[in-house]
Amino acid sequence: MKKKHYLPAIFIIIAIIISTYYVFFRNNEIEIQLDRSRYIINQRIRNIELDRFPLRLQLEFERLRRDFSNIYLQKEWTADLSFDLTHPPLFDMRNLYLVSFDKIAVYNKNDLTSVWIKQLDFDIESILLIDGNNLLVIDNNGTIFAFNRNSGDLNWSQHLNENYISNNTFTAKPFQITHNEDRRIITSILILPIDTEINVFCSVTGETLFSLDFEDYIYFLSEYDQLSNAIYVSYGNKISKIILEKK
């Protein structure tokens, strides 16, 4: 190899080494930083006051507002229910999920034809759509179920706590963190508050990944803060910022 080719070759080798290091050993850190930058830009754009827009953008905004004046509401179907709902309706791309005490009734959301119905032994505490095509159901006896959304088959279940007490009075409910919300995780995880602790599950398999204990009862749990990789927990008379770390 001629001398004049040594320097470019060295630069290429160094670039390959650096790229490999960031891809395999830095937990997708470049992508994480890009996601944070996009989040910050999006938040700033959404919170710009209208009087700070240039005149051209203001005119475009007014045109869009006029277009929105053509929007109206129209009923597609109406149906009578033979039971009282005890939770807000939940829906995905195909189905409508209705809960009445200890019963789950799943319907096609376009024509309300029945898809499947399940009767549990105890009243339902909460429901959530999670990955793996699962409907997560927690009863007030402390058992968690993951039903296939389309068939109603039980994919996995787990009893949470022998001393579980229904927490339906408060709004500390389970929620999911996906790969799109945090690029450091490969599959989605489930954040589940129970009494004085927060549990982390794999959404697909139900495997317990981690538990964090608090010294008092958990009342409220925030949604996931993607910018800070954090959740905010209210327990007793305190509030804490809890960071989701990855080794």
Copy the structure tokens of residue 165. Answer: 């007490």
Distance CA 18, CA 94 (A): 45
Q: In what order do the strands lie in the sheet with 134-139?
A: 124-130, 134-139, 143-148, 154-159
Distance CA 23, CA 20 (A): 5
Residues 8-45: tens digit of each pLDDT: 666 677 767 666 655 555 556 666 777 777 777 666 65
Does residue 218 contact residue 158 with C-beta atoms inside 8 Å?
Answer: no
Domain-by-domain residue ranges, the chain? 1-43, 126-243
What is the residue-wise DSSP string for 71-132? Answer: -----------SS--SS--EE-SSEEEEEETTEEEEEETTT--EEEEEE-SS-EEEEEEETT
Distance CA 212, CA 110 (A): 42
| Reported confidence tier of residue 58, pLDDT bands at 50, 70, 90 | low
Which residue did the predictor score with more confidence, 150 or 188?
A: 150
Strongest mean pLDDT among 78-92, 107-121, 189-203: 107-121
Residue 74, Cα to own-chain centre: how many angstroms?
30
Does residue 223 contact residue 207 with C-beta atoms inside 8 Å?
Answer: no
Which residue did the predictor score with more confidence, 4 or 232?
A: 232
Q: State the pLDDT at residue 72.
A: 46
Helix (H, G, I), strand (E, B) or coil at 245: coil
Which residue did the predictor score with more confidence, 173 or 155?
A: 155
What is the residue-wise DSSP string for 186-224? Answer: SS-EEEEEETTEEEEEETTT--EEEEEE-SS-EEEE---
Give the lowest-confidence range in 52-56, 92-96, 190-194. 52-56
Mean pLDDT score of the chain: 76
Task: For residue 208, list its beta bridge partners.
Answer: 201
Phi and psi for 158 in degrees, rounded to 5?
-160, 135
Overall fold of domain 126-243: Thrombin, subunit H (2.40.10)
Count of beta carbons in the 10 Å neighbourhood of residue 128: 20
240 membership: H or E segment, kind and range: strand 238-243
